[in-house]
Structure 1
């Protein structure tokens, strides 16, 4: 199993940082010493390394040259071999297409982390532990779910049934109906790769502005079981704007 980070997004609400950088390279641990600075991408790769993952792929698009320029340094810093996968429509289409671009990577089995989510390695450990509890259960997709946080309109909300798995995943839901919030981290077994890639393709062909979570919903509609795993009381944040960035910096200092 390898790591996978979606880092193709522009993050326009984080300007001026993202005038020259993709969102995943915005600093969340600041320091006057270059070697001590950390970005969301650094945190994701450090999490992978902490749970024993030695190889990762990064989907790049907007300002991809900045990731290419740091590739060797990221490998040295985190001890993780990196492959960069290019998204040729990163500034036009949403991330259902971005994840589909990594369809060959999915065949390896991955832990997927969004390139704008600050979270501790305990999330990855929780997903791997859930996998180990049911060895041999091929084809599984397991979403990391925050069942503690009070939800509002912007969150990616999930309704999950203990017997059937995910029933709905969307932002467009009454928060009171949701089991919890998907935090942007997923374990995807290699046996699920082909079906997920097909669902993602159907999703972005229907509407290129859809999210990869809409691809998960497409899988559910097709009868594929998508599971969830609660992460417990964990500090994390999805960084969309400067207020989120301030929160991310506060959280990242604890890891």
Structure 2
């Protein structure tokens, strides 16, 4: 199993940081600190802490910044890094971006969004949930109050995920998908096909819509509740301030 990071996004709501950097490389340490870690740093550290030795990073917008740091990141975290180019990162949404990593999926991966600050306990929870016929396991926050923007999930205890979408009444949801998934290699081919069908239907769809495509085809997708954990998806400057507070805890 390897790590996989989606780091191709532009993050326009985080300008001016993202004028020259992809969102995954926006510093989340103390403001102004020269050596402040980025979301990518924190994610790779998590991968190293659970014993992974390899990771792939899907890059697109301002990808040269990731290429420039690759050797230093490898030395710091003891990971062999493969960079995967997304040639449509500024045009299409992330269903296509994850599809670009379809060869990496064949290794079995822990997938992490490049804008999610979270502790290593999330990855450990996913690893503990492995086994049986569970091939795709989503990290789920069942504690945080939900609103309109969250990626909401409805789970049937006997059948797994039934719905995953932002377009849902929060009161209907079991919890929020936090952007971290364990994907076994046995699921790689079916997931890649579902992602392809998703972005071909509409290139602006999310990879979570690909998960829904899987579910609609009868593929079981499971969840692992992460408990009461501080985490944040960084979309704007308010989120970035929260990310800095949370990153200091870990």
Give the TM-score of the pair, scaled to structure 1: 0.96
CA distance 1:15–1:32, change in 2 (3 Å): closer
Matches within 5 A, 1:57-206: 57-131=56-130, 134-135=131-132, 137=133, 140-206=135-201
1:224 aligns with 2:204: no
* 4+ residue segments displaced more than 3 Å: 30-34
Instruction: Report how far residue 33 of structure 1 moved.
Output: 6.2
**Paired position in structure 1 for 2:15:** 15
> What residue ranges of structure 2 are gaps of 5+ in the alignment?
none
Map Cα deviations across residues 30-79 of structure 1 (whole Å, 9 max, x no partner).
37664x42000000000000110110000000000000000001111111
Map Cα deviations across residues 161-202 of structure 1 (whole Å, 9 max, x no partner).
111000000000000000000000000000000000000000
Q: Distance in 2 between matches of 1:91 and 1:16?
A: 17
Count, aligned residues: 250
RMSD value over aligned CA atoms?
1.0
1:30 aligns with 2:30: yes
Map Cα deviations across residues 212-254 of structure 1 (whole Å, 9 max, x no partner).
0000000000000000010000000000000000000000001
Map Cα deviations across residues 81-134 of structure 1 (whole Å, 9 max, x no partner).
100000000000000000000000000000000000000000000000001xx2
SS at match of 1:154: coil
> What residue ranges of structure 1 are gaps of 5+ in the alignment?
none
